[in-house]
Every structure is written in C-alpha cells, then in structure tokens.
Amino acid sequence: MAHEHAHHHHGPKDHGHHHDHGDILHTHAPAGKMGRAFALTCVILVVELAGGAISHSLALMSDAGHVLTDVFAIGLSWFALRQSVKPADEKMTFGYARWGILAALLNGLTLIAITLWILWEAYHRLEHPSAVHSLWMFVSAAVGICINLYLAAGMRDEENLNVRSAVLHMLGDAAASAGVIVAGIVILLTHWYLVDPLLSIAIALFIAFGAWRIVRQTIKILMEATPQTIDFREVVGKLKAVPGIHDVHDVHVWAITNGQNALSCHAVLDGNMTIRESQQILRDAEHCLAHFGIGHVTIQIEDGSHPHENRALCKAADQSGEHHHHERD
C-alpha cells in the first residue's frame, strides 16, 4: 500500500506556490522567563506564608496555598518547556511537545484540588470566625500582586497552552492578593471578620473556573480531538476541491500539542497517474492545509478500485469492516 508523507519544507522547485509555511510545526516558548517566574514565585510563597501565620488570615493562607501550587506548576511548566524543544527520536517519533500538555493538565488538576481545600477551610471559618490582623495582610498581598502582575505581563501573549496555564496561576494569585487587600480594608474599618472566609470562597471559585477550562483543553488534545480552530467539514471540502483528487476518506485531524496540528487521510487519484505526476497534487494539498494551520500531513494515495467506505470519517467502531471488504474482493 503506497503512502505519501508530506511536510512544508520545500524549496522553490518542490512547491508551485511562493508561500512560506515552514514555521507551522514550531512554537516558541519563553523557558528563560519561566525560570525567572519560578524564582520570584518562591519569594511570594515565603512572604505570604509568614504574613498569613502572623495575621491569622485564611484568605492570605489560601492565597499562600495557591502560591504553593504556583511554585509546583511553574516549575513543571519550566521543565516541560525545556523538554518540549528536544528533537524527535526513535522512541518519541513525534518529539516531546506533549510534555507541555501533560504539565498543563496536572497544573489544572492541582488548581482544582487547592480550590476544594480553600472551600473546606472557609466553611469552618464561617462557623467559627476568628480575628484577623489587617496590616500583614496588606504587606504580604501587595508583594504578591506586584510580582505576579509583572510575571504575567511578560508572558500574556504566549499561545503555548502550558505557558497559558502557568500565567493563569499568576493572574489568579494576583486577583486573590487584590481581594486580600480589599478584605483587609473592610476588616480595618468594620472588624467584620466574616469577609475573610467569604473572600476565600470567591477566590476559590475564580481559580476553579479558569482551571477547568485548561483541563478541558488538555483533555481534548490528549484525546486527539479536532482542534477548535479547525472546521473538519471545511477541511474535507477543500481537499476534495484540489485538482486531481477525486475523493478523500479516513480523515483524521488532531493536535500534537496546541499550535501544532496534524492530518492524515486517504486520497483517491487516477489509477493511471505516475508517482511523479501525483507530486503536484500532493503539493497543492499541502498548501491548502497550511492555510488551516495544519503543518504535519500524511496522505495515503489510492485509486478508485481500492476497497473503502465512501465516508470522510474512519469507522473505527467496526474493526471488522476492513476484513469484510477483503473477503468480498
């Protein structure tokens, strides 16, 4: 069975178009920035743990607990960024890019876990309110806000899902620190100590919402779902419209990691066509797919007599389908 494996790294003689899609398979991740973020987040953790212990603030201790997961999450993201740039080898033929997806998934799950802990502690504090010293809340939270906003601003435009999950940690912590300062002002003016656990609940829900979005995205990538930015039917339609392609079937579109999309399919061509004559059709198909952000393309060439179902999606549920075709022939 003949296969054609296509990449977007052709010279002028190889490609009939003058578009450059050579960067589709590459992502640029700020490993150096992530290393600096790890060090500064450790500073925040020490300051907020000390401030929470002295002030007896659950909101501040909750934020410190969140910062602890930040240290773990950013460290994991940093490690994943360094791993993801390693080249493919015989054991990992797609490379190590999914380290970042695994890191993002684990980061999201730890955020949800810390959310449950904050809610549990807030419940007990609502039943038994305790005095809170607002001065240390101000100092510790201010340190957290300044550092986290500085770090998040430096990486806010990154599309890497791993980096985005780490930035979410930073923004969540900055928002929590801002809330801690508001709570400190209320306590200073009114001595209404219930604002501390109530704020903790708000922080927890804010964190959980963003974490769940990250978890959903990583699960979709790990399940090799069609990327959200790609319309499956439109891709199939464009492939069928390529001159020389009579039909396509068994189409799979997935993401190796976010921003690195791949496609495989079977394409039906004229059975009398030579391999050399089929090359321009493949180049046209590659060029078409590049405009969808699909940079890793594998196309299996077939003629009209090759047994297959007339459908774009592979009928994976019926594993015996291929055998039935062969027995019929």
- Measure CA 91 to chain center: 23
pLDDT band at 283 (very low <50, low <70, confident <90, very high): very high
pLDDT band at 126 (very low <50, low <70, confident <90, very high): confident
> Residues 186, 207, 157, CA angle at the centre, nearest 5°?
110
Length of the chain: 329
pTM surpassing 0.85?
no
Is residue 41 over pLDDT 50? yes
pLDDT for 203 equals 76
Q: At what angle do helices 195-222 and 58-84 cross, to 10 degrees?
A: 20
Is residue 33 over pLDDT 60? yes
Instruction: Dump pLDDT digits (tens) for 253-264.
Output: 998 877 788 999
pLDDT for 140 equals 77
Name the residue among 170, 165, 176, 164 with its Cα closest to residue 147: 170
Segment 136-152 mean pLDDT: 80
Spatial distance between the Cα atoms of 226 and 164, rounded to a whole number of angstroms: 20
Segment 297-302 mean pLDDT: 89
Across all residues in the chain, what is the average pLDDT? Answer: 75
Is residue 322 over pLDDT 60? no
pLDDT for 131 equals 65
Instruction: Dump pLDDT digits (tens) for 225-245.
Output: 888 889 999 999 999 999 999
> Which residues does 291 contact at the CB level (< 8 Å), separation at least 6?
none
Segment 144-156 mean pLDDT: 80
